């Protein structure tokens, strides 16, 4: 992984169809942190992936061009601060304090779940689910060992946070 640090890569998993593309910022034995490159020459938030069942890390000639354009645009391809990748509770607690709203996904689901932290312990995460209209819709719980992807600071999440903040002012 060291050779890919701060470079644009895609990660494919043996047991997931989705391929994740972004700039490798950090990694541990258990987690991988990417600055998202969802399409073309765009940077949009961060993705933390569970470092399990990685099938391949892809980096081809097209990536060099994309990387060059993104850097010429002046887009940041690193994190502004250290994000603790020690374990899932450390990650979630950091995100809850720094970003408030985050998104999680499980391997088996087609859905993603946005929300803010209510509680986390050794086995379970409980969030206040954030619906697509920017309203918190109640508690949802997830087994920690089922969480595979965490996203935060994306345009979609930040847009919903604007709605939440506007509603608070009323």
Q: What is the pLDDT of residues 131-165, one digit of tens each?
A: 999 999 999 999 999 999 999 999 999 999 999 98
Tokens at residue 158, please? 């930040």
Residue range 7-33: average pLDDT? 93
Domains and CATH numbers, the chain: 1-81 (2.30.30.100), 87-170 (2.30.30.100)
Distance CA 107, CA 148 (A): 6
Whole-angstrom CA distances from 32 to 19, 24, 68, 93 are: 13, 8, 23, 17
The predicted structure's pLDDT at residue 1 = 85
Pairing state of beta strands 113-120 and 147-152?
unpaired
Confidence band, pLDDT 50/70/90 cuts, at residue 167: confident
pTM exceeds 0.85, yes or no? yes
Residue range 15-31: average pLDDT? 93
pLDDT at position 109 over 80: no
Distance CA 122, CA 119 (A): 10
């Amino acid at each position: 992984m060291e050779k890919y640090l701060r470079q644009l890569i895609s990660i494919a998993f043996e047991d997931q169809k989705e391929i994740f593309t972004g700039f490798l910022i950090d990694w541990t034995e258990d987690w991988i942190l990417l600055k998202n490159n969802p399409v073309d020459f765009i940077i949009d938030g961060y993705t933390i992936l569970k470092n399990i069942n990685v099938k391949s890390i892809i980096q081809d000639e097209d990536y060099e061009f994309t990387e060059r354009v993104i850097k010429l645009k002046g887009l940041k391809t690193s994190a502004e601060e250290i994000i603790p990748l020690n374990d899932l509770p450390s990650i979630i607690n950091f995100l809850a304090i720094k970003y408030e709203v985050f998104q999680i996904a499980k391997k088996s689901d087609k859905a993603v779940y946005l929300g803010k932290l209510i509680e986390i312990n050794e086995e379970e995460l409980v969030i206040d689910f954030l619906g697509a209209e920017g309203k918190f819709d109640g508690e949802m719980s997830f087994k920690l060992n089922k969480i595979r992807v965490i996203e935060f600071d994306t345009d979609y999440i930040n847009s919903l946070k604007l709605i939440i903040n506007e509603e608070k002012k009323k």
